[in-house]
Structure 1
Amino acid sequence: MDSLKQYVKYTYLSATVVANSVTAQNNYIVISRGNAQSVKEGMAVIDINNGVIGITSEATSGFTAVMSLLHKDSKISGKLLKSGETGTISWDGKMPNIVSFTGISKGAKVTKGDTIITSGFSTSFPKGLVIGYVEEAIPEKNTSNYSIKLRTAANFYNLQYVFVINNKQQNEINELLDKVKKQSN
């Protein structure tokens, strides 16, 4: 049984939402878990249906502020479930249930309703969590990409319970990336 424990990459901690904003340019969510429960900066947060909510930013002993997906500085790596094409998810500050998906070439087949998931190219988010569903994909003029709008999988207006995801390998991966970056400078 001990040999299995070394392969557990992620653990999940439940939390209650105690504050949530959706109409500001930089939205935050406050949850009822903090440093005392081993929550730290950079951990993924999802809703009870595995929809992406955001990333932890600051914590006290009993509470944590989460930078919402609905924050102007939020950037998450996503991919089209059906084809594997990857791009970046961000929010333009307009509608609280619509985010942008950029970096997808016009060569990709994108249709309304397609599912966008986390790519796994992050130390915070596991691969395969639902970010949202394609609302529209319009070919951009003068580029080789689409302008894609997604409806978020999570209902940010009605967040009550969430899970904080702890990647047990996050520190090791970040340390390795820091070493590589230092060597290349």
Structure 2
Amino acid sequence: MRNVFLFIRRYSNFLLFLVLQIIALYFLFSYNRFHEAAFSEVADRITGNINSRYNYVDYYFHLRNTNEQLVKENLQLRSLLKQNYEAPDTANVLVVDSILVDSIKKFQKYEYHAAKIVGSFVSTQTNYLTIHRGANQGIQRDMGVIGPLGIVGRIVDVSDQYATVMSVLSVRFKVKAKLKNGGENGTVEWDGASPSYIYLKDIPKSAKVKKGDSVLTSELSSIYPANIMVGTVADISADKESNFFSLKLKTATNFYSIQYVYVVGDLQREERNQLQEATKKTNE
């Protein structure tokens, strides 16, 4: 306490000056409109700058929650897409099961699982991703994986909590795709070079195709719903020894920055696989 009094005594003149200065400024800004307006402008500018910086910091720390919420909302919207359902054949007697949507009398074909990428490679010939979803969340091998902008790969291995995804950027990856405009089908594969480009092969030369055209997943694909974005045509090469084009595609997915994906569950896959196996055995 003694030190406080000594401090006040030592700097009494300066402290008195500060008090009088504050009082003078108060009267100046309170009773002079020009100075009041100038002070308000400066104060608003400083306050706005502080609030802006605070909001930026607050937004940064809440960005993860925002992204996760958007992923959940996109998952709900994606589940309502038209291609996820099909109308029953009214010419036949149907056995209604648990995947019937009563309100619109259509059968659900696909379901989606949102997943976060926890590991990714783009620099090898056989690139893979690791996602934080596994068997405990319903993930199975050979499920398709898509991102917000297009296809990503397919599930090749599963543990309880994690799954490995063979990326589109793997020389072992192949998928059926089609031209959006003409509908011609071909096969998408990667040549192991640039992570930004893949190739659509076996497109007939009769197809009307130009740079910038979109390429989508085909109805012939066994792992993806139809009409999911694959990429856009960046270059067109005609094979002189065949009647087909080789189309260089700019990938729809940016594999350097993607963080969240959706795993596609085909609810009719097991039935289709059983039928195919039965057909093979019959023809053996």
TM-score (norm 2): 0.63
CA–CA separation in structure 1 for the residues paired with 2:220 and 2:203: 16
2:107 — aligned with what?
A: 7
Give secondary structure in 1 for the equivalent of 2:253. coil
Which structure's residues are more often strand, by fraction? 1
Moved more, 173-182 or 71-80: 173-182
Does residue 37 in structure 1 map to residue 134 in structure 2? no
Does residue 20 in structure 1 map to residue 120 in structure 2? yes
Gaps of 5+ in 1: none
Give secondary structure in 1 for the equivalent of 2:236. strand
2:268 — aligned with what?
A: 169
Q: CA deviation at 1:123?
A: 2.7
For 1:4, give the aligned amino acid: V
For 2:114, give the aligned amino acid: S
Match of 1:74 among 157, 170, 173: 173
Match of 1:159 among 258, 261, 271: 258
Does residue 62 in structure 1 map to residue 161 in structure 2? yes
Match of 1:135 among 213, 234, 259: 234
Point out the structure with max Rg over C-alpha: 2
Identity %: 36
Q: CA deviation at 1:120?
A: 1.9
CA–CA separation in structure 2 for the residues paired with 1:9 and 1:76: 19
Gaps of 5+ in 2: 1-97
Q: Would the aligned equivalents of 2:177 and 2:221 in 1 still touch at CA under 8 Å?
A: no
Name segments (4+ residues, structure 1) moved above 4 Å.
none
Which structure's residues are more often helix, by fraction? 2
Q: CA deviation at 1:69?
A: 0.4
Q: CA deviation at 1:82?
A: 0.3
Q: Would the aligned equivalents of 1:25 and 1:72 in 2 still touch at CA under 8 Å?
A: yes
TM-score (norm 1): 0.95
CA–CA separation in structure 2 for the residues paired with 1:103 and 1:33: 35
Q: Would the aligned equivalents of 1:123 and 1:174 in 2 still touch at CA under 8 Å?
A: no
CA–CA separation in structure 2 for the residues paired with 1:109 and 1:173: 33
Match of 1:113 among 206, 212, 217: 212
For 2:267, give the aligned amino acid: K
